[in-house]
Amino acid sequence: QVQLVESGGGVVQPGRSLRLSCAASGFTFSSYSMHWVRQAPGKGLEWVAIISFDGSYKYYADSVKGRFTISRDNSRNTLYLQMNSLRVEDTAVYYCARDLAVVIAIPAYWGQGTLVTVSS
């Protein structure tokens, strides 16, 4: 079955960087677009970024554009989110998610998330 396991979260000071990873298993990773979605404590969901199955296109929410970079290593079945110039408002649980189907680009299978806390 589809399994997604995020890692790399932690406490970081404003302005610093952090890289999140998402290890995928149970499906052909290289066939699916992947997403990052975040949720601030006690708040709703916010979509962050998407990367195509082969990494040829990437799109970002305006709130993270220019600071965050999504990438993937299909040989390692791993998705990444490089977060630079972190702000207090980036504090959230970060989820990775797989598309519903190869041709249906909706986040459907989710990991359990990793918490990022940006604080001085």
Q: 44-49 long-range CB contacts below 8 Å, 24 or more apart?
A: 46/92, 47/107, 48/81, 48/94, 49/81
Contact 98, 107 (CB under 8 A): yes
The CA distance from 95 to 16, in Å, is 20
Q: Which of 111, 114, 116, 118 binds another protein (CB under 8 A)?
A: 111
Q: Which of 12, 32, 86, 113 binds another protein (CB under 8 A)?
A: 113
Binding status of residue 70 toward another protein by CB under 8 A = no
Distance of closest approach, residue 16 Cβ to another protein, in angstroms: 26
Name the residues that contact another protein, by CB under 8 A: 33, 35, 37, 44-47, 50, 57, 59, 61, 95, 100, 104-108, 110-113
